[in-house]
A and B are shown apart, each in its own frame.
Chain A
Amino acid sequence: MSDRRNFLKGVVAASGAAVAATVLPTKAEARETKQRPPDAMGLLYDATLCVGCKACVAACKQVNNNPAEFSTLDHLWDTPLDTSGKTFNLIKMYRSGTMETKDAEENGYAFMKTSCMHCADPSCVSACPVSAMTKNPENGIVEYNADACIGCRYCVAACPFGIPKYQYDSPTGQIGKCELCRHRHKDGHYSACAEVCPTGATLFGRTEDLLAEAKRRLALKPGSTAVFPRGRLRPEDERRLSGKEDGKGERKRKRHAWKEEPDQSYENVVGNYLQHVYGEKEYGGTQVLKLSAVPFQKVGMPDLPPEAAAAHSESIQHMLYGGLVMPFAVLGAMTYVAKRNVHHDEHDASEEKEER
């Protein structure tokens, strides 16, 4: 009997350890929020420059071969109300009162681009059980592979921006989301939304450079005039980054094989920016950055902490299942105890037969 009591103690100890490991996540074991890769690509969306022409929405549809979606009775124009499995980019409008002034919180209106933020530590990538959603280690693009996808839609549920969307109207529905036009990169094209933007409200580039550009704008005097780039941001150090000058031919990373295009910079009035680059720190940072004059929550961008949910989730998983140590320890204890008790059980059964 004392033997058995010891086994019981063993079980209690094992389950106690399991419980303790769950309850007391230590900082040392926790998986830190990941940072953007150094050569991360992204977009800078400046709501104060956006005129709401939706050229980017049309271009996105075209290059991704997506059909028009209708929300009006006369099925004439592409009028999606939100991004969907077939609409990867959308300009939404904020309206207040009389809507007199652009970019005013009261009695004003403003625009906001909705598309994948390409998080440094994406929830969708952490959630995906079959690696259909992955983050490119070089340029940081969050890529989707329909051939791997099982359609569980955990990525849809996980994303705080509501970006991955599923095609519910098809028996073979896929997830649809912006992939920064990665399928066009090999032809020297960058994101179509930035390519066609007439005001430079959507600008393509290396996220680090875009962040510097965003901070330059925040330091400008509202109402003054300044030069704004359009299309693709081409910082002076681009050649150095591409490995031509100091890379000594060793860095074969073909990052910038973009098509030649004339400098499209132009002068415009500086907006009345909030001193906040959205995406600099949210969820560990995103590769798409945003500037706005109207509070971000009001234009549909959620208020997010600096730690990514993926880090919390993976901390728990690694703590409980890291190297499968805990499951095997508990299994060992359980096997040990069960072996004794099952024998005991069979013994009882044979006893019972003898009685009969």
Chain B
Amino acid sequence: MAANHHAPAPVGGNLFNATTLVCGVLIAIMIAVLAVRFVFGLGAVTNLNDGYPWGIWVVVDVVIGSAFACGGFSVAMLVYIFNKGQYHPLVRPALLASLFGYTLAGIGVIFDLGRWWNFWHIFSPSHANPNSVMFEVAVCISAYIVVMWLEFSPAFFEKWGMVDAKKKLNKVLFFLIALGTVLPMMHQSSLGTLIVVMGVQINPLWQTQIIPLLFLLSAIVIGYGVVLFESCVASSAYRRKIELHLLEPLAKVMLGVLAVFIVVRFGDLVVRGALPLAFKGNIAALAFWVETLCFLAPFAIIGNASARRHPGKLFLAGTAIMLGGIFMRINAFLIGYDTGVGVDTGWNYFPSVPELMVTIGMFAIEVLGYIIITRRFPVLPREDAGIANSAAH
């Protein structure tokens, strides 16, 4: 095991290239759109309306963004809770992506809040409403962001040679790790519970009392899917060796959790008698099958062991899972949301271009941040000298 256990090291190399430049431009556009939003209001840049008060800034930036940031949680569970030490090299890169995903989701919420200057009320006991699912989600995500920065801080301590700080942190690391598994369990499930109070407005294909469990299971699967996706992209972009010896068994773990998810998902639909709705000739039924096929695709792509050793197929399977996660959340919050409860109230929603540019800008920050930190801080496992040099130039 020790042989596989490379200490993390900075990738190095130039920070100015086509990718970082494109990211920079996208981020600049986002800042411009946000300036308009904060001066003139949400209506000036978004297509939000009273029939669809939540758009992609909530559903994509926060709900999907945080699910995509579950890599750190999923891998940490595997390494520290299920004691699979061999996956240790995956922890830091996954944690970094999670850190960015969650921090941006937290910041993204502010863009969407109509009265953002009151945001601190969430943490004020005189205002807090513990019955509110949103309250639980907001507090949990905020706490998790803090925990993750602490969990990740050894990377900074190593870079700046802060040996003492690292030692001190290491003493309580086990507790941070425990918190880092419980907090995401709490809010990833609650992100699903958010739709319960919307009651009959949500199509029964998604409206269920076990939606917290479905969201939690899918978030764990998405976590592994994102690690597959990220590892493939990072190794191809930095021309590094791909960690197939880790990704192959990881993919197997992912398929296992995915199978549990599928069984629970369909078991629930059958028990509640909601399955016939999937065979209606409407958009909700179509959206349901697109979502379901994305979740089933990994079994076809990497179902056998030899396919799991194929980087391209691992990448495809990871992408399919991420798409499934995207569709599941968009379906539950937007496609399956009938604001008039069967009465056509004339509302509809599709994101505006400026609205899209903010979401795209958020992902650009994530990519740019990942590049800067992996090139300058010890995150990715150290490579053999020859390969590392070729990556740097």
Contacts and interface: CB of A to CB of B under 8 A. Distances in A.
Interface of A: 4, 7-8, 11, 18-19, 22-23, 25, 81-85, 123, 126-132, 146-154, 156-158, 160, 162, 165-174, 283, 297, 300-305, 308-310, 312-318, 320-321, 327, 330-331, 334-335, 337-346, 348-349, 351-352, 355
Nearest to B112: A152
B266 to A, nearest CB: 14
Interface stretch (B19-27, B178-186, B288-296, B366-374): B178-186
Contact of B129 (A23, A128, A157, A339): A128
Interface in B186-217: 186, 189-190, 193-194, 196-201, 209-210, 212-213
Given A11-B82, A22-B210, A130-B129, A151 B113 contact: yes
B92 to A, nearest CB: 13
A334 B200 contact: no
Contacts of A146: 115
B175 interface: yes
Given A128-B134, A153-B48, A309-B199, 18 more contacts: A7-B83, A130-B121, A131-B128, A148-B118, A156-B53, A166-B114, A168-B49, A297-B343, A302-B342, A304-B341, A312-B197, A330-B185, A331-B178, A338-B80, A338-B174, A342-B174, A342-B177, A348-B2
B53 A153 contact: yes
A30 B132 CA distance: 16
Contacts of B345: 82, 162, 300
A314 B80 contact: no
A169 B177 contact: no
A129 B85 contact: no
Interface in B294-329: none
Interface string B133-155: 11110100000000000000000
B81 interface: yes
Contacts, number: 253
If over half of B's interface residues share one DSSP class (helix, strand or loop), that class is named, otherwise mixed; here it is helix
B43 interface: yes
A157 B198 contact: yes
Chain B interface size band reads 35 or more
Nearest to B212: A22
Most B-side CB within 10 Å, residue of A84, A154, A160:
A154
B53 A166 contact: yes
B129 A129 contact: yes
Contact of A313 (B39, B41, B119, B193): B193
Contacts of B2: 348, 351-352, 355
